Structure 1
Amino acid sequence: MTYRLLPEWYPQDGIQLTWPRPDGDWAPLLARIEATLERIVVATARYQRVLICVPDEATKERLVTTFNAYGVADNRLLLIVAPTNDTWARDHGPVSVIDEQGLMMMLDYTFTGWGGKFPAERDNRLTQWLADAGVWACPVTSRDLVLEGGGIETDGEGTLLTTEACLLNPNRNPTLSREDVEAQLAQDFGVDRVLWLANGHLEGDDTDSHIDTLARFCNSTTIAYVRCDDPNDPHYNALAAMEQELQAFRQRNGEPYQLIPLPWPQACFDPDDGHRLPATYANFLIINQAVLVPTYGDPADVAALQALADAFPNHTLIPIDCVSVIRQHGSLHCLTMQLPKGTLARGTLAATATC
């Protein structure tokens, strides 16, 4: 059976979010991150469903009241009490593939907290836990390969875009060569081309250069990417080298990709210890008929929205303030995982089963 990795613009049942625990890393910023997540839910629920994994019954009941007050329809929400470590659904969520008959399957990769940097045992078990709770409408297959959703991009037509710093990092799969990794990607995703970026990084990023912080497919022929235009910025050389790599990449027909440079926001620094935070406009989320775009209260926000409007002429662009999100070294896309059509079982917020 041959499966194909779906691009983010494939029709979706919904998105998955993982709500922060009161005693987790978000504790000092809990009210702020919850406000950001609420905006994501309200915006997304206009178009599709939202699955939210919550830490306890009290949080579930509070969110039911909150979203009722916001006017979110009950049939757009599914709240499940589930044990988790953190909020980064992009990396502990399932990766969806489809076969030649249109049947869906979810791949449950091993999540180690980005190479063992942070505790991840509960997050690593979450996809199977949700399967046992009856949340999914398709089978789940576990994979030993260490891989995060934020580390891969696809055009949906057999091409994968990724970074060497992440997928070839010895903190992920130390016994596998590049050829081994490519063979596994070909088997799981039906890809026959892997475009490897050797350059590009963001200070403050814990993921070892996830592709979704740097360059993203907007459609099968278009890639939006971050470009630094300040020669004095420490990112300048690496991102300029990455831009040259993207310019050299070719589509399957030999044509260059249409490249859309995204502006460079002013440097953001943590107010407590002064380290730089990974603000990036590449961390947008494509949903049905809309694109949620991270913003940072920066003059470049408008330019980023304009650039992505050109890439998504048939979508509504919705800005989401992510100043608080980057305090924990991620952004909007990192918080979410899209659930393609055929993956999410029917139900409403009343179906808040726990195992």
Structure 2
Amino acid sequence: MTFRLLPEWHQQDAVMLTWPHKDTDWAPNLSAVENVYVELSQLISKRQKLVIVADNESLKQAIKERLTQHEANLDNIIFVDAPCNDTWARDHGPLTLSNGEQLKALDCQFTAWGGKYQADKDNAINGHLFAQALNKNALTAKSDFILEGGAIEINEHGVLLSTRACVHNKNRNNELSADEIDSTLASLLGAQKILWLNHGYLAGDDTDSHIDTLVRFAPNNTLVYVRCDDPEDEHYQELGKMADELVTLRGTQGEAYELIALPWPKAAYNDEGDRLPATYANYLIINDAVLVPTYNDEHDQVALSQVAKAYPGREIIGVDCRALIEQFGSLHCITMQLPQGFLEN
């Protein structure tokens, strides 16, 4: 059978975090962002295992002490020793495929969104992860194709969703034609069909319009998307065009998708006046729960209620992510799910 990328709501062994440290871009607000990582560690380790990538031994010991103080379940936490440039596990982490009987962990090239930042250490993390934690019965594959996990969404029918602005960007795989990129993507991930969006972006986003900031697949042919209802906002027209595109998308049997709109948080800025990419779409699905970024915004509660419609039966938990957007990402961006069977028992 064909190996196919698993949807995020597939049962998981663990979630992977790459922990921030003083030599990352998080240095100016390290304490605040570590608080978010500690909260995530508590929430995740109560429900499943957590894999933490630690840059060095002293950092690993400091993390253990911090998590012990905050009563995280250390029995459910696995440490992987690997140097790192930064912490965006969604994009440097592995993509996991299954053929129904066996898993395959795919390691694509990570270039920090088209060479915007240093990424040599992050691009090597999956090798350390596979050597230290991967189930011996799982296969591994390495590809020269440049691809970040935040750039793609897939559902249970093998339909892949992405944005042309990212995957077709000339700063990635520029030696390939658009058709070659599409065929490579389908072959690598076992996609039955690829749906492309031509519209949608977030100001302050370094990723060239990652899909996980804009639109997310949910079970049962559902799409959860961000909607801007403020005509004075710079995103209004572009996200309106994206919403129009979503109405036209069709699944493998020609079916339309149920659409669930997420509210638009008020504009957030850093001290330099740069707009930050606050989005409710950047949520994380774990076993029996969905962790949703919040921003101390009047729309937070509506966002939680809308996400609950897409994932009935799961607990919906808000996580304050104001510290994360200071580095132009949010909750989903710093995590990567590792499906059931990924870890060595």
Distance in 1 (CA, whole Å) between partners of 2:58 and 2:33 is 18
Distance in 1 (CA, whole Å) between partners of 2:231 and 2:112 is 33
AA in 1 matched with 2:205 = D
Residue in 1 that maps onto 2:318:
319
Give unpaired runs (5+ residues) of structure 1: 347-355
Residue in 2 that maps onto 1:208:
208
Query: 62-71 or 168-177, which moves further after superposition?
Result: 62-71
Structure 2 residue 35 is the aligned partner of structure 1 residue 20: no
Structure 2 residue 312 is the aligned partner of structure 1 residue 310: no
Do the aligned residues in 2 keep the contact of 1:4 with 1:156 (CA within 8 Å)?
A: no
User: Matched residue of 2:318: which SS?
Assistant: strand
- The Cα shift of 1:112 comes to 0.4
Distance in 2 (CA, whole Å) between partners of 1:65 and 1:218 is 37
Structure 2 residue 256 is the aligned partner of structure 1 residue 232: no
AA in 2 matched with 1:20 = P
User: Matched residue of 1:31: which SS?
Assistant: helix
Distance in 1 (CA, whole Å) between partners of 2:279 and 2:343 is 30
Q: Provide Cα deviations, 1:110-134, integer angstroms capped at 9, x if missing partner.
A: 0001000000000001101222334
Do the aligned residues in 2 keep the contact of 1:43 with 1:318 (CA within 8 Å)?
A: no
- The Cα shift of 1:65 comes to 2.0
User: Matched residue of 2:98: which SS?
Assistant: strand
Structure 2 residue 138 is the aligned partner of structure 1 residue 129: no
Residue in 2 that maps onto 1:172:
172
- The Cα shift of 1:184 comes to 1.2
AA in 2 matched with 1:308 = V
Distance in 2 (CA, whole Å) between partners of 1:109 and 1:53 is 18
Residue in 1 that maps onto 2:155:
155
Which consecutive segments of 4 or more residues in structure 1 shift more than 6 A? none
Query: 283-292 or 64-73, which moves further after superposition?
Result: 64-73
Distance in 2 (CA, whole Å) between partners of 1:67 and 1:205 is 30
AA in 1 matched with 2:29 = L
Structure 2 residue 98 is the aligned partner of structure 1 residue 98: yes
Q: Please give the residue correspondences for 1:249-264 in structure 2 after superposition, counting only pairs within 5 Å.
A: 249-264=249-264
**TM-score, structure 1 as length reference:** 0.94
- The Cα shift of 1:135 comes to 4.2
Q: Provide Cα deviations, 1:300-340, integer angstroms capped at 9, x if missing partner.
A: 10110010111111100111100010000000000000000
Instruction: For CA contacts below 8 A with separation 6 or more, give which structure has more relative contact order.
Output: 1
Q: Provide Cα deviations, 1:247-305, integer angstroms capped at 9, x if missing partner.
A: 1111223221000000000000012x101000000000001000000000000101100
Q: Structure 1's 304 and 134: CA in aligned 2 closer, same or farther, altered over 3 A?
A: closer
AA in 2 matched with 1:199 = H
Distance in 2 (CA, whole Å) between partners of 1:134 and 1:155 is 26
- The Cα shift of 1:2 comes to 1.7
Identity %: 46
Do the aligned residues in 2 keep the contact of 1:224 with 1:259 (CA within 8 Å)?
A: yes
Distance in 2 (CA, whole Å) between partners of 1:263 and 1:96 is 31
- The Cα shift of 1:61 comes to 1.3
Distance in 2 (CA, whole Å) between partners of 1:204 and 1:278 is 5
Give unpaired runs (5+ residues) of structure 2: none
- The Cα shift of 1:136 comes to 4.6
- The Cα shift of 1:139 comes to 2.7
Query: 316-325 or 186-195, which moves further after superposition?
Result: 186-195
Do the aligned residues in 1 keep the contact of 2:16 with 2:337 (CA within 8 Å)?
A: yes
Superposition CA RMSD, Å: 1.2
- The Cα shift of 1:97 comes to 0.1
Distance in 1 (CA, whole Å) between partners of 2:139 and 2:3 is 13
AA in 2 matched with 1:309 = A
Distance in 2 (CA, whole Å) between partners of 1:7 and 1:23 is 33
AA in 1 matched with 2:70 = Y
User: Matched residue of 1:133: which SS?
Assistant: helix
